Structure 1
Amino acid sequence: MAHVCFSCTAARQMNSSGDTEPKEASRPAGSSRILALTICSAAIGGTFQYGYNISIINAPAIYIQSFINDTYMERWGTSLNTSQVTLLWTIIVSAFSLGGLLGALLAGPMAVHCGRKKSLLLNNSFLFVATLLVLPCRMAKSFEMIILARFLVGMNSGISMSVQPMYFGESAPKHLRGAVAFSSAVFTAFGIFLGQVVGLTELLGTEPYWPYLLASNALPGLIQLLTLPWFPESPRYLLIDRGDKKACVRALQRLRGGEAPVLEMEEIIQEQQQQQSVALNSQSAASSKTPWSLFRDHDLRSQLRTVMVASSAMMLCGNDAIYFYASYIFLEAGIPADKIQYVTIGTGASELTAAILSNLLIERAGRRYLIVGGYSLMSCWTIVFTLALILQSWGVAGMPYLSMACIFAYILSFGLGPAGVTGILPAEIFDQAARPAAYMVAGSLMWISLFLLGMLFPFIVNGLGNFCFIPFLAVCVASAVFLGLTLPETKGKTQAEINAVFERKNGRKRQKQVDQPIKDHYQLGASYSLSSLVQEPHPDQKNGDGNLL
């Protein structure tokens, strides 16, 4: 499923003066096993669900629309016209996006108060309630139960799409942070692909079984509920948010398969000290920020602007519209109706292939090149696709197949960069205090954009015809230009280094907060025990309960 490649030892790097950084203790051969299993357990009930629930709604579209019309006829003695059925179907599709918006708003407070892991576990409750609604909906003759079920499934996806990348970004070592966080996109693509396979007419994509298809998302949730409790919480959350140093060390030991890396503990402690210093200077508690405080903070404007554009563009580029309305798009492209379900599987396979390839490349190529290159390629394919549709309307042979190839190429380009890099950005360019609020803002914009796209796309297709992808061309070009100018490369950088880059962009220079002795650890290559790094703080830095401020 997720491809995660871990090295067992940290490479020695030369600093500017010719000295070497200390080499971490060798890891056991299976040192990556716990981290890899943690990723699989969290993602199978997390971003996998987002991709799965996007794709499974496409296969039973005709049967659900027929069920809506039959139910209305039994209630009121009259049938609905085509536009009314389409409107109710659009409400069902868009309920997922509205639920996702509410889930994104809940994700931040849940991640702060419950923790990253417990939030993912509690999130499954929305999924199980949705299952209880959708299974008896046909017997109850209620299409409203489908709408409510899709809303709850959207809440589940909205929470997981924000909390899971946060959990991954805070649990991974620095040199694998991008690959681990990008595995969220791999599982999203895997969910899309598997949902398309399960929705085949040979499996659950038939009239008698469509309620079971919509309820099949309960199985991945059950797998997560049974497995995730056995894995550790985010080490950064344990130390910085809860002030539990011993739990942080234990979590790092499990995730790294041995002794907790000294340099990694130093980095976490540095971030904790920076937040404490900021809190002491501002005479306030070192608590998590709110979305409103992010907008008011001049030091975070560049980061916030970058994340807002990237999150909105991820949905407004039109990639997910292909999964919601795949049948409409392929019919417009001239693909025979009986072949569409098999062609649709190719779209999921394309994004899964691209996500795995990008997972291999992200720590080499970097985040900036992947996301800018992805939007640039998408712009090119949009132009070719539009030309193919125009030539097809003129009767030029072979154009339907060129249109289909353009859609595959478009999805491949999306999966190569924007699909995964967008979810990584809030975790990498915001510190621990601002990260939950940043995911709330990013998630809200993402789901609002998806809702608007789901509501408007059928009308865009009907109104613009062969030029239906021109709005997406504008989004892709604008995103490539903006992110190319504003987004710095974050590959292999610590949180302090990333903050420094954005401080220069914001025209501000924050006073250095890192203690000199910790810096000397790197310069001298000294080896310090973990006990020296997790000493009890000064009494002035504790609150009345004995916890860190």
Structure 2
Amino acid sequence: MHCYIPFARPKTGSMRTARDEEDNTISEATAETLTEKTAELEGETTAELERENTAISAVLRDDKTQIEKENEDSTVVSDTHTEQSLRAGLKGVYTLPLVLSIFACCFGSSFQVGFHLGALNTPAKILIEWQRSSYKRIHGPDSVYKEEIIWSLTASILLLGGILANALLASITHRFGRKGTLMYNNAFVVIAMILQQMAKSFDNYIYMMISRFFIGFNSGVNMGLASIYLSEIAPINLRGAIGCMSNVFLYTGFLFALVVGLPFMLGDEENWHLIFLLSYIPVSVQLTLLGFFCPESPKYSYIVHGNFMEAERSLQLLRGRNDVKEEMDMLDKEASTARSTSHQKIGFCQMLEKKYLRWSLYLGIYLVFSVQTSGSAPVGVYSTKIFEEAKLSQLNAQLATCGIGVVNVLSILACVYLVQHPSIGRRLLFLTCTAGCCISTALIGITIIIAEKGNVEANITTPETATTLTSAIATTIASSNASGGSLAAYLSIVFIAVYVVFFSIGFGAITETYLSDLFPSEARAAGCSASTLASLLFRLVVLFSFPMLKKLIGPSVFFTYSACQLFCSILGFIILPETKNKEPERILRDIKRRRMSITSRCCCKM
């Protein structure tokens, strides 16, 4: 008997509820798992994307930097190649017309200036005695001749004429040209020489002063114009050496005047007036050479007058070749700049209005201030009296002055090599000069003080009985007197010679070239004129004040020049740009960069 037990099934509603609950539980668990995994995947993806983005950004930055560097390098290389090729086309050699033009300009201008700067030096004692007798004859025997004032005025009135000349230089050169102005300027020498002979014939010192004024006018034009003409006819690779020629001839003329002024030459009571007649020699030579063999400045012909054909002919003559395209292209670029900025002419007032020219003018005034406050004027004009006051005999003092003149010429000749040396720039030479002059002028003052103190105390004491170390040293040095002067006096000659060497390698060699480099063509005449005017004013103050300061504080006056050179050394290190072998546009960019750098530093400190 089979028993059948039926399977017990749940009710349909309850089965569905349980299954739904189970499905819901599974769905919730799955959803949570999926959410967690999704969040995890999203986090990993986001982090990975951030890493990838960072890496891509870094790569892009590196690529951009590399591209910019490559572009900069290629630009620099391109500019360098362009500049090198341009300079290769601008290089020149010494041709006969170029040499004749240099000689005509320098001999008739710079030599003339140097000659008249030194003409009163060695025969100074005779001239002072003649002036004293002339003064008493005119004003009465009881009148008092004040040597410090009248002789200083005679020596410095030349600078008053120079100041007037420089005030008119820009207008004169713009109208008559560089060559024409050099030629017409000789008329003032002729007038001055006539007055000089009248002074001797009529025994009237007033004529001598007036003649010095006319010579000053001639010298003022020559000083400002010679450097302009030389810089404008010189090839770019010879610009420094040719610029030095002006100073070579200036110091040669100075030495020539010292030699002919010696007592056994023309520097005696009967023949001293014949010294000044020698000025007719450079006048005749310059008029002949400039009139028949030398061209006008190409830059003046093209940039100022716009005469392309005349400028090209002048360049072809000066360079000795027909192909002067590169140099004409450069002149054309300068002419375009001049027309766009100043309509071919910029005066002094316009220079002050234009910021880029105003800073060049400041630099030019700084240069001439450095030169004139170095003590060059007293050393050049009063060196014989300085040596006499250092207890040298009159003849030894005159011979020492001539020896200094020889050192001057030899130093300036050696500087032609230094100026042309590829690794020696104008800035380095100038700063070396200021530092050297600072030290040497201080040593000049010290040795003259010792010489004077020693000569006074040597008569009343001995080194063993001296009460102070200074007295002992001074007395010991002074006790070694030999034929006309003490050891300290001869040491003063040595230190003046050292001063002359430093002066020559900087101030004497490159100042005029430096001035021409600082100004573009359209402002060069006005800029050089203003700078030379400032130079003459500074020189006038220094030259006129030296005898009075010497009387007031003695040889310590040289310490003031030393302090000025110390100041100029520091200032020059900050503001002076390098101009050697650079085109005018690049020089102006360098000046602007230094100006902005100095201005930004001053603003930051404020």
Output the TM-score relative to the length of structure 1: 0.85
Distance 2:142 2:298 in 1: 58
User: Does the 8 Å contact 1:169/1:177 carry over to 2?
Assistant: yes
1:26-80 CA deviation, whole Å, 9 max, x = no partner? Answer: 999x852211111011111111111110111123322222222322333343144
Partner of 1:370: 429
Distance 1:257 1:444 in 2: 36
User: What is the 5 A alignment of 1:335-346?
Assistant: 335-346=392-403
* 1:482 aligns to 2:571 (yes or no): yes
Q: 1:425 deviation in Å?
A: 2.2
Distance 2:493 2:329 in 1: 51
Secondary structure, counterpart of 1:433 in structure 2: helix
User: Does the 8 Å contact 1:137/1:145 carry over to 2?
Assistant: yes
User: Does the 8 Å contact 1:24/1:261 carry over to 2?
Assistant: no
Partner of 2:62: none
1:27–1:503 distance in 2 versus 1, CA, 3 Å: closer
User: Does the 8 Å contact 1:189/1:351 carry over to 2?
Assistant: yes
Secondary structure, counterpart of 1:231 in structure 2: coil
1:426-460 CA deviation, whole Å, 9 max, x = no partner? Answer: 31111111111111211111111111112110112
Distance 2:282 2:296 in 1: 20
User: Does the 8 Å contact 2:123/2:262 carry over to 1?
Assistant: no
Q: 1:216 deviation in Å?
A: 1.9
User: What is the 5 A alignment of 1:277-292?
Assistant: 277-279=340-342, 286-292=343-349
Secondary structure, counterpart of 1:258 in structure 2: coil
User: What is the 5 A alignment of 1:492-531?
Assistant: 492-507=581-596
Residue among 387, 397, 408 paired with 2:446: 387
Deviates more, 1:174-183 or 1:291-300: 291-300
User: Does the 8 Å contact 2:364/2:515 carry over to 1?
Assistant: yes
Partner of 1:60: 123
User: Does the 8 Å contact 1:378/1:414 carry over to 2?
Assistant: yes
User: Does the 8 Å contact 1:31/1:258 carry over to 2?
Assistant: no
Distance 1:289 1:25 in 2: 29
Distance 2:89 2:547 in 1: 57
| Code of the aligned partner of 1:141 | D
Partner of 2:235: 173
1:26–1:116 distance in 2 versus 1, CA, 3 Å: closer
Distance 1:222 1:456 in 2: 36
Q: 1:188 deviation in Å?
A: 0.9
User: What is the 5 A alignment of 1:193-208?
Assistant: 193-208=255-270
Residue among 233, 241, 264 paired with 2:296: 233
Partner of 1:49: 112
Deviates more, 1:214-223 or 1:493-502: 214-223
1:148–1:186 distance in 2 versus 1, CA, 3 Å: same
Partner of 2:461: none
Partner of 1:298: 355
User: Does the 8 Å contact 2:123/2:263 carry over to 1?
Assistant: no
* 1:400 aligns to 2:480 (yes or no): no
User: What is the 5 A alignment of 1:407-426?
Assistant: 407-426=496-515
Residue among 214, 217, 220 paired with 1:155: 217
1:75–1:503 distance in 2 versus 1, CA, 3 Å: closer
1:339-383 CA deviation, whole Å, 9 max, x = no partner? Answer: 111111011111111111111111221211111101111111123
Residue among 312, 315, 329 paired with 2:369: 312
Distance 2:94 2:450 in 1: 56
Q: 1:22 deviation in Å?
A: 6.8
Distance 1:97 1:25 in 2: 42
Q: 1:200 deviation in Å?
A: 1.3
User: Does the 8 Å contact 1:368/1:489 carry over to 2?
Assistant: yes
User: What is the 5 A alignment of 1:442-461?
Assistant: 442-461=531-550
Number of aligned residues:
488
Partner of 1:255: 318
1:147–1:190 distance in 2 versus 1, CA, 3 Å: same
1:22–1:320 distance in 2 versus 1, CA, 3 Å: closer
User: Does the 8 Å contact 2:87/2:236 carry over to 1?
Assistant: no
Distance 2:94 2:202 in 1: 52
Distance 2:96 2:161 in 1: 34
Which is helix-richer, 1 or 2? 2
Partner of 2:247: 185
Partner of 2:15: none
CA RMSD of aligned residues (A): 2.2
1:22–1:239 distance in 2 versus 1, CA, 3 Å: closer
Deviates more, 1:119-128 or 1:442-451: 442-451
Distance 2:245 2:570 in 1: 26
Distance 1:85 1:235 in 2: 49
Partner of 1:9: none
User: Does the 8 Å contact 2:338/2:345 carry over to 1?
Assistant: no
* 1:331 aligns to 2:331 (yes or no): no
Distance 1:468 1:23 in 2: 47
Distance 1:478 1:269 in 2: 41
Residue among 16, 21, 27 paired with 2:85: 21
Residue among 398, 402, 405 paired with 1:348: 405
Q: 1:503 deviation in Å?
A: 2.3
| Code of the aligned partner of 1:409 | V
Distance 2:128 2:389 in 1: 20
Partner of 1:143: 205
Distance 1:304 1:26 in 2: 27
Identity across aligned pairs (percent)? 25
Q: 1:306 deviation in Å?
A: 0.9
User: Does the 8 Å contact 2:312/2:324 carry over to 1?
Assistant: no
| Code of the aligned partner of 2:504 | G
Output the TM-score relative to the length of structure 2: 0.77
User: Does the 8 Å contact 1:124/1:156 carry over to 2?
Assistant: yes
| Code of the aligned partner of 2:221 | I
Greater Cα radius of gyration, structure 1 or 2? 2
User: Does the 8 Å contact 1:58/1:326 carry over to 2?
Assistant: yes
Secondary structure, counterpart of 1:209 in structure 2: coil
| Code of the aligned partner of 2:379 | I
1:26–1:248 distance in 2 versus 1, CA, 3 Å: closer
Unaligned runs of 5+ in 2: 1-76, 454-473, 478-486, 598-606
User: Does the 8 Å contact 1:57/1:214 carry over to 2?
Assistant: no
Unaligned runs of 5+ in 1: 1-13, 280-285, 509-549
